[in-house]
Structure 1
Amino acid sequence: MKIMNMRPAASSFSVHPNRRRQAQAMRKIALPTLDGFIFKRVEQIIFLEADGNYTALHFSDGSRSLICKTLQHTEELLGAYPQFIRVHRSYTINLNHLERYVRGKGGHVVLEDGRTVSVSNGKKADFLKALELYFGHL
């Protein structure tokens, strides 16, 4: 008797990377607040800002929500989304909302909503590497 592998070939279920990225961006995530949860699409998050043991999330519609998790824990919630990169001890940005990077000691980024976020000198090399990996060239 011959044993056959019943799993279909992986290529028959492969999803184009851009479609996978779009599907992930459209997915809503649950974010814990002091009085419950908010549900937001990942694509709406412009940047995260540490606020002690809380994290302020800034959204593309101009709103801001304070969630009851540290920045590190919030980054873990967003771990499946490679567009989020820590640029400073207190800031994580969504590369999809990046307008420009201005060089300097660490430099700073300008986001689509016009806000400026510093890139720490210690995070600069990792940030530039992440830009190269995410956008494919620099």
Structure 2
Amino acid sequence: MLNLKQQKPKLNKICLATSDGFDFIEVNKILYCKAEGSYTEFVINNSEKLLVSKHLKEYENLLLEQDFMRVHNSYLINLKEVKKYVKSDGGYIIMNNGDIVSVTRSKKEDFIKVMSYLTN
């Protein structure tokens, strides 16, 4: 059984190297991360977007134990920022800011399980 409570201590902030310096972002303010080729776009809850020159996989490893989940090859989402899951059209997620995130078939079942644990 998946137990989300027995994980490493939560990160408060993450350092993102952008083109003009370093941004220190509170992890809980990240809505989701999107792969953009060899870059990663961070979408922050104040509608800010930051583009970082590292692959999404590097951030997946860092954020996986911080209530984030890879739901698609291109998306790593903050599970606490999920507003709704829609079953139609193959299944997709609506984030708290209204953005739509695709979910791959292979991740749907895991996503639904994890969300049921988070809400209990």
Band of TM-score, shorter chain: 0.7 to 0.9
As a proportion of its length, which structure holds more strand?
A: 2
Amino acid paired to 1:128 = I
Residue 73 of structure 2: aligned partner:
89
Q: TM-score, normalised to structure 2's length?
A: 0.84
**Structure 2 spans left out of the alignment, 5+ residues:** none
Query: Does the alignment pair 1:63 with 2:75?
Result: no
Residue 16 of structure 2: aligned partner:
31
Greater Cα radius of gyration, structure 1 or 2:
1
Amino acid paired to 2:74 = S
**Structure 1 spans left out of the alignment, 5+ residues:** 1-16, 18-22
Q: Percent identity?
A: 37
* Residues paired across the two proteins, number: 115
As a proportion of its length, which structure holds more helix?
A: 1
| Structure 1 residue ranges (4+ consecutive) displaced by more than 6 angstroms after TM superposition | none
Q: Distance in 2 between matches of 1:88 and 1:106?
A: 12
* Higher relative contact order, chain-length normalized (CA < 8 Å, sep 6+): 2
Shift of 1:47: 0.6
Q: TM-score, normalised to structure 1's length?
A: 0.74
